[in-house]
Structure 1
């Protein structure tokens, strides 16, 4: 077992799922919703990430010369991943500031839009959330009239989920924000570099 900060790697150098539900090896990795959930989960608030990012920035937020200022830390791959994580998180939250939606709520809206009538329990399974978390998210979306529940005719114990008109509108706005965020991120790389970066990052989280 190798641990860098609060990230644990197993013997195959895969990120292990932590107690807080950190992403480990993704199932349904070919699913757009699974890939979206990975993106949204990895950009969750992380005080450690923000502290590292601030430590590597000047008093006015200017970029630091990492190799000159932090010594041996500059040789630690995990440190650079955490700094990149912090930069991605900051831009993501700025992009989503006006949407009044959490990252996991967007994941649920997107999955239900792709699969109208999907069972609530199946949403939790595909997004790797426990029942309590799934229920809390669905309850909040329903309270905001973004989602509605219906009982399955074949099994009254199961609840089918559908987006309302307001839910579809909210998801459309979220997709636009995600597209803007992705455009910002990919603008730093060529198409070939993006493909290679995704492949290399996959070695860590898959």
Structure 2
């Protein structure tokens, strides 16, 4: 919709409201405070989330993780927190994690057949075997998510839920003969990753 049309509509509504002595504003206020508008708002929000998760299933875990972190910092009553917590804690359940992992590994799902299963298995095997003999510290985003999914999206140290900005570190450092293989990688939250990095640097002194 062009901005000119929006300005024209707003101007027309203001003129009509003035002509009817402010009755349009009163009607809008009545609708705004009605339960039907609130019900429609909740329905729109729920439908939007459903369509978003259906279209982007691999982002649902990240979405709930960010929402969980954000809500923890918001001031709210204990009753409100108790009401919201069960929904956010769904991301910690194994079934939720397994579902997202299966969708992610199958390339978003849909029309799964023997060819897709074989291709997914080949991709997993290729990822498991990659990283041997490398000296580069960089790890692909795909491998990072694979490592985190294998840990049920929990930090490898403190066992808390991984945030969206988690890090992947080497169990055996590259300079000590380690590699970028999946078996030598661990997903950590920022705090645990920083602590491990600091301890490694102290050991070098």
Aligning the two structures, in what range does the TM-score lie when normalised by the shorter sequence? under 0.3
- Give the number of the structure whose residues are more often strand, by fraction: 1
- Give the number of the structure whose residues are more often helix, by fraction: 2
Q: Give TM-score scaled by structure 2 length.
A: 0.27
Larger radius of gyration: 2
Q: Which has the higher contact order (CA 8 A, sep 6+)?
A: 1
